[in-house]
Amino acid sequence: FRRQIVQEPARAKDYAARAERDFHEAIDRYTDLARAYGGGSYLGIASSASGGLLEVEVELGRRSADDAMALISQRLDEVVDVTTVPSGDLLESFGWHCVFGCNIALRHLEGETMHRHMAVLTNKGYEIADALDNWAMRERIFTLEHAQHERMHQVSGHDVAWTIDTDEARVIIGTMGRFPRFRATGWQILNTATVIPSN
């Protein structure tokens, strides 16, 4: 339901309300499982759901975008160094917080505030996706960064410079191969970005 918010904006509130119920249920169930059986995996899934809940709460007007972004930033303080967090569902949950935060920034923030949050969240999201070799997360972050550039183009009326290195270009091509729906976006990035050699 959360993804439908963007795909069918006329029904965004309805989808957000359904997603809110699902996220609350997921948080409760996986927190109970963590208490019963231990292990970070259940807590990681509950954490991912709590990040998604922030996004839909903003959509429903139950929480301000600034408040949600502050909470996401606070949670990401736990993963300044990704090597200190065990690889798995818990680390992945921080990556999805980056995705949810980007969604909030793109839909509810403007100007320099939006760009500042997007820069922090996409950088950390890429870092976590690389640590986990998580292609689904890479696809989401590339797509969101492309949406940011499209929005900047619409506001400014001219092309906005986008620079990627050869390693990033290879990852984009790999993402295109794994996610057919991403191919059009991937080609737009590759055709408009300036590609420089990797360090």
Task: State the number of CA atoms in the 13 A half-sphere of 170 facing the CB.
Answer: 7
Q: Is residue 6 very low, low, confident or very high in pLDDT (cuts 50, 70, 90)?
A: low
Residues 155 and 13: their CA atoms lie apart, in Å, by 26
Residues 117 and 165: their CA atoms lie apart, in Å, by 22
Average pLDDT over residues 123-145: 97
Residues 30 and 175: their CA atoms lie apart, in Å, by 30
Q: Is residue 26 very low, low, confident or very high in pLDDT (cuts 50, 70, 90)?
A: very high
Model pTM score: 0.92
Q: Does the pLDDT at position 131 exceed 70?
A: yes
pLDDT per residue as tens digits for the range 46-95: 999 999 999 999 999 999 999 999 999 999 999 999 999 887 999 999 99
| Main-chain phi, psi angles of 158, to 5 degrees | -140, 165
Predicted local confidence at residue 4, as pLDDT: 63
| b/e sequence 81-95, b meaning 16+ C-beta within 10 Å | ebeebeeebbbbbbb
